Structure 1
């Protein structure tokens, strides 16, 4: 079990904002406003007793619970689609693997770009949705560390928002290299390590309605690069998209929202600090398998 307290989150955000101010990213008025806000937070009785115990779920159990609502509008505002789409648009159509395909979000876009799509996921419930969404695709239950795909079987592999759930990136990158044809391409999007450090972990409720989090791991930017290079994958591009600018998000309410399900709504209580403490939301890589890996 994990223990989450809204004050722990809010004071952490304030602390990051103050550290940035300490090195010159905020003036005296900003620092004094943050310190005053910290005092108000500590005096807030609604926050004082709001901590909750939270279950940590593995991906199979977690995505089984999430499958029915994963594509709801509130969950589907994925910030990786523009960059991943731009990369894929520059590649010829062929056989494409959507690894950890979930409900077929990228499988559908790959099929629409003329690829013959193979989707792999550990969640049978998610695959049921994917098959309905992309009837022309071929979907298989499997694990990222042992993909049910033949050696040199695909021209392109896409893996979106999944590697944060993997403890060790090495075996997964090795599997991508195994199933790619020499010269094939790998496109990975994942939760940025700085976002994970700020609590950007998939949140849901378990079968009993209790708050739960999918097991997640914080991989440094260099961890992806080291694992890829060891597998013979050469980096071609790296992007770090940020979340929408403050003006593009709904106006803060100033009230305590459903933070046990959606922790980021706590930012509404400290919008100025949250903006100052903001980090990239995603990490997106484009790799190519070395020809000599044949």
Structure 2
């Protein structure tokens, strides 16, 4: 169970922005503006509502609500991560490719166009249904990252995109990747960074019972991926951490380039919609998020 209060999030952003100013990134005028904004927020606390609590969901439960709209344009993370992953896939010859935690098949579709024989595995039947419609030539199977329904030494390439942040322990997942890969095969992994660098804010969605629920969203150190991968014979061929756009919040309070209006505030008694809060303090939000990575993207090769 988590409890998220809108005032706590806003004051937290102000605090990060003030720490950046304390480190020399902003001037006295900026500090004065932030302190005045904090006072104003505290005076208006009742207007922001009490926030709310949410219980933890499984990946299948959380992604069921995302499946119909997951591929819609304007997702800042997908817009940045997708081209980087595809550039790594372009370097690899066609073969048998496993898209692990394939979701709606956005990478599986690209792999199929590149001439790969595609297998997709995901825990969400709703996401798999979208993937099957998108990639009719692929084989899509329900399964978990810790127990992939794929034989040993069966694939030339594994892609796992934006999924490991939901996994409590990387080691058994990387062990599965090593098991299904043929020697010399490649592993391409992308993972989101927490919205504030090393803080993995839970992702709140509507659960199957209609009430808010959350999916854990861990923000890991690069060393954690290496500790899971290197003992299994994986070697690093590429690592990149793309940065968030600046400004992080546009003039309308939405991510730059995002279509549509800022979403409305969450109903009283539910966790806040973060994007609906950013317009209240855009300067602090931009300062807090500035210079933080949005994702980490790896390419490993299995050498043994």
TM above 0.5? yes
The equivalent residue for 2:177 is 176
Q: 2:274 aligns with which of 263, 266, 270?
A: 263
Preserved CA contact (<8 Å) 1:157 1:187:
yes
The equivalent residue for 1:224 is 225
CA deviations over 1:194-233 (Å, ceiling 9, x no partner):
6475554433212343322213333222111211112221
The equivalent residue for 1:72 is 72
CA distance 1:18–1:93, change in 2 (3 Å): same
The answer for unaligned runs of 5 or more in structure 1 is: none
Q: Equivalences for 1:37-56 in 2 at 5 Å? A: 37-56=37-56
The equivalent residue for 2:258 is none
| Aligned residue pair count | 290
Preserved CA contact (<8 Å) 1:256 1:266:
no
Preserved CA contact (<8 Å) 1:147 1:175:
yes
Q: Which SS does the other structure have where 2:107 is aligned?
A: helix
Preserved CA contact (<8 Å) 2:54 2:214:
yes
- Distance in 2 between the 1:179 and 1:250 partners? 47
Deviation for aligned residue 1:48: 4.7
Preserved CA contact (<8 Å) 2:166 2:216:
yes
Deviation for aligned residue 1:108: 0.5
Preserved CA contact (<8 Å) 2:190 2:298:
yes
Structure 1 runs, 4 residues or longer, greater than 6 Å off: none
Please tell me whether residue 273 in structure 1 is matched to residue 284 in structure 2: yes
The equivalent residue for 1:4 is 4
Deviation for aligned residue 1:105: 1.1
Deviation for aligned residue 1:277: 1.4
- Distance in 1 between the 2:95 and 2:122 partners? 20
Which is further off, 206-215 or 125-134? 206-215
The equivalent residue for 2:94 is 93
- Distance in 1 between the 2:3 and 2:157 partners? 40
- Distance in 1 between the 2:231 and 2:275 partners? 36
Please tell me whether residue 289 in structure 1 is matched to residue 282 in structure 2: no
Q: Which SS does the other structure have where 2:208 is aligned?
A: coil
Q: Equivalences for 1:51-130 in 2 at 5 Å? A: 51-75=51-75, 78=78, 79-130=80-131
- Distance in 2 between the 1:194 and 1:204 partners? 16
Q: Which SS does the other structure have where 1:178 is aligned?
A: helix
Deviation for aligned residue 1:246: 2.2
Over the aligned positions, Cα root-mean-square deviation in angstroms equals: 2.3
Preserved CA contact (<8 Å) 1:7 1:47:
no
Deviation for aligned residue 1:147: 0.9
Which is further off, 97-106 or 28-37? 28-37
Q: Which SS does the other structure have where 1:274 is aligned?
A: helix
Q: Which SS does the other structure have where 2:205 is aligned?
A: strand
CA deviations over 1:171-201 (Å, ceiling 9, x no partner):
1111111111111111111111464755544
- Distance in 2 between the 1:250 and 1:134 partners? 38
The equivalent residue for 1:149 is 150
CA deviations over 1:248-274 (Å, ceiling 9, x no partner):
846228x99335464233222221111
Preserved CA contact (<8 Å) 1:98 1:158:
yes
CA distance 1:215–1:198, change in 2 (3 Å): closer
